[in-house]
Structure formats: structure tokens, C-alpha cells
């Protein structure tokens, strides 16, 4: 069995940025494991532009954005193994993987970063009557076919779901000569970015049918058409609103789920709202020494935030590796609050002084669907922690309220908030230490709520 | 007089903008909440431009197609013409990011550049 200080699972933007950051924070023996034949993850098929506005102040395409990180990984001589599928991670951080040249092998890591990204919801999860003829694809599969294999899946297209991949594919298929007849969305609003609605649909006159769904699929061998219907507030089709549309291709863009089979098998606690691991301010999961970032942690719409988060994960993993080294022989000394020092063993959480293990839970409430991180240790946290969250529905003229226990600490006015846009607030260590007794921090959306 | 309608894409508020146009002159812009919306509406009426991204064929590469983009944004009404020409381009592997695949695409004075590394097989 080989030893590495840090093993990163997944070579997408999250894995790459985490590796770079860990190296810059002094970690030597890093290994990135990627199951695909190339690095870059999902960005390789996202050939449209619009990436990196925050990070590089220019609009790059997906492959160009990925390439900046791939070049950096090469320059820093970070070891990567491609075509390598990770099969198992143990709580003791033993990683089992397989590839065609090494066969099955095991690696002992001091720290692990999960960066496996997400996958599309399978179409089986959709409840549409009718046969399952050829011509039904997930939007991401279609994207891969067109942009990497150079193969057009069809000529007359309907897209169900107005997530960003669906919108991007509506434009892509149109430019390649297909006729995209409609994008149907079950909800009364689109979960896609506004920019994509304008530049992918409006620019090409493709109708976005909100509060609509596919109720029937026609065709036995090959798709021949679908029936669309309007839905009521509960998402139930309204009789009499059915409309038949002939098409040979149906793309499903019905959402992404973090890819967490490995995390689950390792016994890592997942947050039912994000479907990703529950993490603390250091992006460490409930399994010590295992960190998470990127789409495996929660689904991001902007890759810039993925890189930012991954950079932090790399830094915290590096810190953890250095700390556990320092504490390995016996013990580690930590300055207490009043200048007294406490001795504890890093490996054994139970012997850490109470101050160091005290964790405050973040509670998403009224309108907030989740927060990342889910808990914060005031003793371990840096000066500032960015808490990312999403709202459940569209809110106009509202405010974000942050409560320490019962006390309102922050109230941030907002003109509009939408589920499609990831939000964030900052928590400062200074503020948290003013309230040494609080056990929870609640984040909620306040004031009148209307649907758009 | 003509009425143009857009959604402003500069922030999540997504204001519905309306622009009244008389010949080549903008008479009024309304619906915007801030100045950025006005600037956006003006550009969308006078000179809407977009970067076009697509793929072209690669011969002898690890991948059959490679992604490309127009180096600069092109006028919106030239997108279709650009696509027609882009479809006809073929390159030989290896290709590198920033390689020029075509010049003056559809008469726009813009280059088509490669956006991905593709190695030879
Ligand atoms: C279609 C689409 C369009 C997008 N458009 C935009 C946009 O316009 N602008 C923008 O900023 N962002 C956009 N995004 C978002 C952004 O691209 C993603 O958030 C980002 O790529 C996520 O990075 P990641 O590294 O977490 O995941 P990924 O890129 O998915 O990488 C995960 C990697 O892990 C590997 N992996 C998974 N499991 C294993 C395993 N068991 N063993 C080994 N390797 C494994 C996978 O092969 C993959 O390479 C888009 C995303 C999608 C899907
Ligand atoms: S006009 Fe201003 S407020 Fe309205 S969407 Fe545009 S940028 Fe946002």
C-alpha cells in the first residue's frame, strides 16, 4: 500500500483547485484520482462562454477555464492518475481504486478531499406514462454527445426542465440546425440563470413554457412526440390544457444530485437538503480528515464559487495534515481563551478541551433551504466564514435575517432572491465570540413573500 | 415607432426593459431600476453582440471534434452566417488553445479560435 499525505477524488475544477491550494500550503505528496481519460470534469463539455468572470475577470469557455487549472497542476507537479475509478474510502482514509494499468490498488492518505461533482437525476425518476422509445436523453448526455463526440441526437427537440444545462442545450441544438420547439418548466419560474434565458431562448425565439410538464410520450421505437399540459400550483396537470408536439428528441434537464455513493459507504453524514456531506467551517465532513468541495458538497451554478470553495478545502486539509503531524508523537498544545494552554491529542476528539469541540449549528428556516457549512466551531474558525445558502422560492423585497439564538444580529435587505442564485453571508469570529453561550445560528428570509 | 422589449441580465432582478425606437433614434428607455439596465438596453438596440461557441472537426485527434469560439463578440444577426462557415472548418491534430481556425469569419473581422487542447493519436 502506498502512502500519500493528501488524496483528492475527482479531477474537475474542484479537485484541481483543491490540489493547487494544498500544494501552495506546503503539502508535498498529493495525488489526484480521476475516472475520466482527461482532467477538467464537466467543464470539458461546457463549450459555451461565461466562465471565470469572477476569478479571471474575463469570459472563458469551460475547457479554457479548466485548462488554466490543468496547466497550474502540471507546473506544480501534482501527481494525477487518469482512468482511475475510486471504489471505496474507509473512515481511516484508506482509498481503494482501480485502473487498467495498475489494476486494483490501495492508498493510505492522511487527508482526503471529496471532489466527485454531481450527476443528473436519472430519467427513471420521472413519472411520465408511455413507452420509453429512443430519443430521450438527459441534457448533460446530449451535451456530451454534441460537444465531445460530435454527434447530433435529433432534429426536432423539446426540453423538459429549464435548468442551465437545458437552456444551454436549447441554443446549442438550434445552432447545429435542430428545431427546438419548447422548453417546458414545471415550476412557475425557471431555475436557470437569467442570462441563459435571454441568450439561449429569447435570442432564438424559443418559447419557455412555465408551469408546464410532459404528460405523455408518443412513439414505440423512436420518439414521435409528446403531450404538454399546464399544471396547477400543486404541480398537477390541468385537464383540457393538453397540447401535442411532434418531436424526435426529448431532453431532460431536471436537476443535479451530488455524487455521494462513496461518502455514504464511508459512513459520512449527508445533509438531506443539499444531498452532500454535512461539513463544518473547515469543510471537513463528519469523518475526521475527510473534506469536501464543489458540486459533491452542494450543486453550484458558477464554477468560480467552486474554485473558491475548493481553495479553502485544500488549505484546511493542508492545515489538518500539518497539525496531525505535529501531534502524532504525543500531544498538541493549544492556546486557550485566557492565555492558559490546554494539552490534547489531535486524533481523539473527546480529549480536546470543551472550547475547541464546541460547535454551533446553522439552522436554515422560513425560506432558506440549506446552508453550507452546517456547523461552525468558534474556536477553530478563521476571522470570517462565508456561509452559502439557497432560498426555496422567489422572494421580492425581503431581508435575510441572521439570529444568534433568539437575537437578530444581521438584517440584509434584498430586492429579489431566487432559488437559481446561490446566496452568501459572512460570519465574523469576533461577533461570534461576543456570544459565548449560543448553540444555534438561524438564517431566515423575512417580510412579504410573493411568487414571481 | 417601434417598441423593443428585453429582460435585463445584469442582475437577478431581471427588469423588463422597454425601448421606444424611431428610425435610428432611441426615444425612451423604461422599466429599468438602475443605470446598468439603461446601458444594456441601449446596446441591445443599437449593437447587440454575442460570442459564438461551437465545435469543428479534428482529423487524427484523441477527440473527433474540438470546441471553438469567436475571439470577439459578433453582431447578433451574423450568428447564423458564422455558424454556416464554422461548420465547414476542419483542423488537423494536435490543436492548442488560441490556435486560429479561421479568420474574418462571415466578414465580421473576427477570428475563430480553438478553446481546447486535443492531442494527436
Ligand atoms: C451543463 C453545465 C453548464 C454549466 N454552465 C456554467 C456556466 O455557464 N458558468 C459557470 O460558471 N458554471 C457553469 N456550470 C457549473 C460548473 O461547471 C460546475 O459547478 C463545476 O464544473 C463543478 O466542478 P466539480 O469539480 O465539483 O465537479 P465536476 O466538474 O463534475 O468534476 C468531478 C470529477 O470527479 C470525477 N469523479 C467522480 N466520481 C469519481 C470516482 N469515484 N473516482 C474518480 N473520479 C471520480 C468525475 O469524472 C469528474 O471529472 C455548469 C455546469 C454544468 C453541468
Ligand atoms: S436594470 Fe438594474 S436592477 Fe434591473 S435587472 Fe438590470 S441591473 Fe438589475
Q: Chain B contact for A408, CB < 8 A?
A: no
Query: Taking the mean position of all CA atoms in its chain, how far away is CA A242?
Result: 35
B15 lines ligand 2 (CB under 6 A): yes
Domain that holds residue B88: 53-114
Residue B97 lies in a domain: yes
- The reply to whether ligand 2 has any atom less than 6 angstroms from the CB of B61 is no
Using pLDDT thresholds of 50, 70 and 90, give the confidence band for residue A331: very low
Q: Which of A198, A205, A208, A390 should we substitute to test contact with B (largest number of B Cβ atoms within 10 Å)?
A: A198
Q: A14 lies in a domain? A: yes
Q: Are residues A113 and A234 in the same domain?
A: no
Question: Is 50 exceeded by the pLDDT of residue A429?
Answer: yes
Residue nearest to atom 1 of ligand 1 (CA): A165
Helix (H) or strand (E) holding A303: helix A303-327
**In the predicted model, what is the mean pLDDT of residues B99-118?**
96
Q: Is residue B70 part of a domain?
A: yes
* Bridging pattern class, strands A423-428 and A440-446: unpaired
Return the ligand 1 atom nearest residue A15 CA. Answer: 25
Q: What pLDDT, in 10s, does the model give residues A349-404?
A: 445 566 667 899 999 998 999 999 999 998 889 999 999 999 998 888 899 999 99
| Residue of chain B nearest A193, judged by CA positions | B12
A92 in a structural domain? yes
Contact A42, A117 (CB under 8 A): yes
Question: pLDDT grade, residue B24 (50/70/90)?
Answer: confident
Cell output for A232: 396547477
Q: What is the distance between the terminal CA atoms of chain B, rounded to a whole angstrom? A: 59
- Among A282, A310, A327, the domain-final residue is A327
Look at residue A350 and tell me if it is in a domain. Answer: no
Which residues constitute the domain of residue A9? 2-119+257-327
Interstrand relation of A256-258 and A118-120 (parallel, antiparallel or unpaired): antiparallel
**Residue B119 in domain:** no
A227-240 pLDDT, tens digit each: 999 999 988 999 99
d(CA B39, CA B15): 13
Q: Is residue A187 in a domain?
A: yes
Does residue A34 have its Cβ closer than 6 Å to ligand 1? Answer: yes
pLDDT greater at residue B88 or residue A130: B88
The Cα–Cα gap between A423 and A148 comes to 32
B7 to A59: CB separation less than 8 angstroms, yes or no: no
- Nearest CA of chain B to the CA of A418: how many Å? 8
Say if B63 falls within a structural domain.
yes
Residues A261, A250 within the same domain: no
User: Is the pLDDT reported for residue A345 higher than 90?
Assistant: no
Q: Which residues contact A239 (CB under 8 A, 6 or more apart)?
A: none
Tell me which chain A residue has its CA closest to the CA of residue B66.
A148
Atom from ligand 2 closest to the CA of residue B32:
1
pLDDT value of residue A131: 78
A314 plus A364 within the same structural domain: no
Answer yes or no: do B80 and B106 share one domain: yes
Instruction: Write out pLDDT tens, residues A90-126.
Output: 999 999 999 999 999 999 999 999 999 999 887 655 6
Kindly give the distance from the C-alpha atom of residue B37 to the centroid of ligand 2, in angstroms, as a whole number.
5
Give chain A's domain count: 3
Q: Per the structure, how many domains does chain B have?
A: 2
Distance from the Cα of residue B91 to its chain's centroid: 22
What does the pLDDT look like over A430-441, one tens digit per residue? Answer: 988 888 889 999
A64 touches chain B (CB under 8 A): yes
A183 φ, ψ (degrees, to nearest 5): -115, 120
Examine the domain organization and report whether A294 and A366 are in the same domain.
no
Of A199, A416, A417, the CB nearest to B50: A199
User: Please, how many CA atoms are within 13 Å of residue A409, restricted to the half-sphere of its CB?
Assistant: 20
Residue B121 lies in a domain: no
Q: Which of A203, A229, A254 is the last residue of a domain?
A: A254
Task: Please state, for a pLDDT cut of 90, what percent of chain A lies above it.
Answer: 72
For residue A301, the model assigns a pLDDT of: 84
Whether residue A328 is predicted with pLDDT greater than 80 in this model: the reply is no
- Residue A129: the pLDDT is 73
Same domain, A110 and A135: no
Question: Is A397 among the domain residues?
Answer: yes
Shortest-distance ligand to the CA of residue A8: 1
- Average pLDDT (A141-146) is 95
Whether B120 is in a domain gets the answer: no
Residues B11 and B41 in one domain: yes
Q: Do B116 and A67 touch (CB under 8 A)?
A: yes
Considering only CB atoms, which chain A residues are within 8 Å of B79?
A: 175
Query: Is B100's C-beta closer than 6 angstroms to any atom of ligand 2?
Result: no
Mutate: best of B33, B48, B50, B55, partner A, most A CBs <10 A: B55
Q: Is there a single domain that holds both residue B72 and residue B26?
A: no
DSSP B18-52: EEEEETTEEEEEES-SSHHHHHHHHHHHH--EE--
Q: B5, B7, B9, B10: which to mutate for ligand 2, most atoms within 8 A of CB?
A: B10
CATH of the domain at B58: 3.10.530.10
| Domain finish residue from A285, A303, A327 | A327
What residue of B is the nearest CA neighbor of A198? B7
Give the model's pLDDT for residue A338: 52
Question: Ligand 2 center to residue B10 CA distance, Å?
Answer: 6
Are the beta carbons of B5 and B16 closer than 8 angstroms?
Answer: yes
Q: Nearest Cβ partner of B64 from A149, A198, A202?
A: A149
Residue A393 shares a structural domain with residue A440: yes
Q: Judge contact between B81 and B106, C-beta under 8 A.
A: yes
The length of chain B is 121
- HSE-CB at A336 with a 13 A cutoff on CA atoms is 11
Provide the CATH number for the domain around residue A131. 3.50.50.60
Most B CBs within 10 Å, among A168, A171, A416, to test the B interface: A416
How far apart are the C-alpha atoms of A241 and A228, rounded to whole Å? 8
List of E strands, A248-345: 249-252, 256-258, 290-292, 332-335, 341-344
CA distance A174 to chain B (A): 10
Taking only the tens place, the pLDDT of each residue in A152-200 is 999 999 999 998 999 999 999 999 999 999 999 999 988 888 889 999 9
What per-residue confidence (pLDDT) applies to B5? 87
Least confident of A29-38, A253-262, B3-12: B3-12
Q: How far does residue B8's CA lie from ligand 2's centre (Å)?
A: 6
Same domain, A384 and A395: yes
CA dist., res. A396 & res. A415, Å (int)? 6
Please indicate whether residue A51, judged by its CB atom, sits closer than 6 Å to ligand 1: yes
Residue A389 belongs to some domain of the structure: yes
The strand pairing partners of A229, in sequence order, are A213
Q: Do B97 and A64 touch (CB under 8 A)?
A: yes
Task: Please check whether residues A242 and A209 belong to one and the same domain.
Answer: yes
Is residue A103 located within the same domain as residue A163?
Answer: no
DSSP character string of A231-289: B-TTSPBPTT--EEEE-SEEEE---EEE--HHHHHTTPPBPTTTSSB---TT-B-SSTT
- Looking at the fold, whether B23 and B40 belong to one and the same domain comes out as yes
What is the average per-residue pLDDT within A10-25?
98
Average pLDDT, chain A: 90
Distance between CA atoms of residues A405 and A441, nearest Å = 6
pLDDT for res A451: 47
Please name the residue whose Cα sits nearest to atom 1 of ligand 2.
Answer: B37
> Which of the four pLDDT bands, split at 50, 70 and 90, describes residue B9?
confident
Does residue A8 surpass a pLDDT of 60? Answer: yes
**Average pLDDT of the segment spanning A133-142:** 92
Q: Mean pLDDT throughout A332-356?
A: 51
A340 pLDDT higher than 70: no
DSSP letter (8 states) at residue A237 = B
CB contact under 8 A, A149 and B65: yes
CA of A194 to the centre of ligand 2 (A): 11
Q: What is the pLDDT of residue A354?
A: 64
Residue B39 falls within a domain, yes or no? yes
CA–CA gap between residue A247 and residue A153 (Å, rounded)? 12
- Which residues of chain B have a CB within 8 Å of the CB of A416? 12-14
What are the chain A neighbours of B14 within 8 Å (beta carbons)? 194, 416
**B61 and B40 in a common domain:** no
A89 and A129 share one domain: no
Q: Does residue B37 sit in the same domain as residue B59?
A: no
Amino acid at each position: 500500500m502506498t502512502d500519500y499525505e493528501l488524496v483528492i477524488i475527482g479531477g474537475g475544477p474542484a479537485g484541481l483547485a483543491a490540489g493547487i491550494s494544498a500544494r501552495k500550503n506546503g503539502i508535498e505528496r498529493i495525488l489526484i484520482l480521476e475516472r475520466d481519460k482527461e482532467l477538467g470534469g464537466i467543464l470539458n463539455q461546457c463549450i459555451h462562454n461565461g466562465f471565470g468572470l469572477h476569478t479571471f475577470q474575463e469570459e472563458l469557455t469551460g475547457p479554457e477555464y479548466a485548462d488554466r487549472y490543468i496547466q497550474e497542476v502540471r507546473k506544480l507537479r501534482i501527481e494525477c492518475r487518469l482512468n482511475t475509478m475510486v471504489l471505496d474510502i474507509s473512515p481511516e482514509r484508506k482509498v481503494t481504486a482501480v485502473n487498467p494499468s495498475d489494476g486494483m490498488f490501495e492508498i493510505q492518505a492522511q487527508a482526503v478531499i471529496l471532489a466527485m461533482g454531481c450527476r443528473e437525476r436519472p430519467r427513471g425518476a420521472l413519472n411520465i406514462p408511455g413507452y420509453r422509445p429512443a430519443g430521450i436523453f438527459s441534457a448533460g448526455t446530449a451535451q456530451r454527445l454534441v460537444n465531445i463526440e460530435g454527434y447530433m441526437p435529433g432534429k426536432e427537440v423539446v426540453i423538459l426542465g429549464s435548468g442551465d444545462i437545458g437552456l444551454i442545450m436549447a441554443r446549442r441544438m438550434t445552432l447545429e440546425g435542430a428545431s427546438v420547439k419548447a422548453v417546458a418548466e414545471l415550476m412557475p419560474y425557471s431555475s436557470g440563470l437569467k442570462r441563459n434565458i435571454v441568450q439561449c431562448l429569447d435570442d432564438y425565439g424559443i418559447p419557455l413554457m412555465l408551469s408546464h410538464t410532459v404528460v405523455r410520450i408518443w412513439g414505440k421505437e423512436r420518439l414521435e412526440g409528446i403531450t404538454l399540459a399546464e399544471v396547477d400550483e400543486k404541480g398537477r396537470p390541468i385537464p383540457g390544457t393538453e397540447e401535442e408536439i411532434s418531436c424526435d428528441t426529448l431532453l431532460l434537464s431536471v436537476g443535479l444530485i451530488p455524487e455521494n455513493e462513496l461518502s455514504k459507504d464511508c459512513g459520512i453524514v449527508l445533509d438531506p437538503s443539499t444531498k452532500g456531506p454535512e461539513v463544518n467551517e473547515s469543510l471537513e465532513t463528519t469523518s475526521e480528515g475527510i473534506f469536501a468541495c464543489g458540486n459533491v458538497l452542494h450543486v453550484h451554478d458558477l464554477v468560480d464559487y467552486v474554485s473558491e470553495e475548493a481553495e479553502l478545502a485544500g488549505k484546511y486539509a493542508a492545515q489538518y495534515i500539518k497539525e496531525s503531524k505535529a501531534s502524532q508523537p504525543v500531544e498538541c498544545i493549544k492556546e486557550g481563551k485566557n492565555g492558559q494552554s490546554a494539552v490534547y491529542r489531535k486524533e481523539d476528539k473527546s480529549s480536546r478541551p470543551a472550547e475547541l469541540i464546541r460547535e454551533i449549528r446553522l439552522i436554515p428556516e422560513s425560506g432558506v433551504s440549506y446552508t453550507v457549512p452546517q456547523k461552525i466551531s468558534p474556536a477553530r474558525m478563521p476571522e470570517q466564514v462565508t456561509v452559502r445558502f439557497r432560498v426555496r422560492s422567489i422572494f421580492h423585497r425581503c431581508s435575510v435575517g441572521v439570529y444568534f439564538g433568539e437575537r437578530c444580529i444581521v438584517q440584509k435587505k434584498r430586492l429579489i432572491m431566487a432559488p437559481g442564485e446561490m446566496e452568501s453571508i459572512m460570519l465574523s469570529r469576533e461577533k461570534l465570540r461576543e456570544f459565548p453561550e449560543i448553540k444555534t445560528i438561524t438564517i431566515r428570509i423575512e417580510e412579504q413573500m410573493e411568487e414571481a | 415607432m417601434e417598441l423593443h422589449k428585453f429582460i435585463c441580465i445584469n442582475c437577478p432582478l431581471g427588469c423588463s426593459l422597454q425601448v421606444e425606437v424611431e428610425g435610428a433614434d432611441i426615444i425612451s428607455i423604461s422599466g429599468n431600476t438602475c443605470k446598468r439596465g439603461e446601458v444594456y438596453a441601449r446596446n441591445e438596440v443599437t449593437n447587440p453582440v454575442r460570442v459564438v461557441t461551437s465545435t469543428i472537426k479534428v482529423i487524427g485527434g484523441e477527440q473527433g471534434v474540438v470546441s471553438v469560439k469567436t475571439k470577439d463578440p459578433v453582431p447578433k444577426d451574423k450568428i447564423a452566417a458564422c455558424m454556416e462557415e464554422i461548420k465547414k472548418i476542419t483542423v488537423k491534430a494536435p490543436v492548442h488553445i488560441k490556435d486560429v481556425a479561421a479568420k474574418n469569419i462571415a466578414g465580421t473581422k473576427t477570428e475563430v479560435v480553438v478553446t481546447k487542447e486535443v492531442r494527436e493519436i
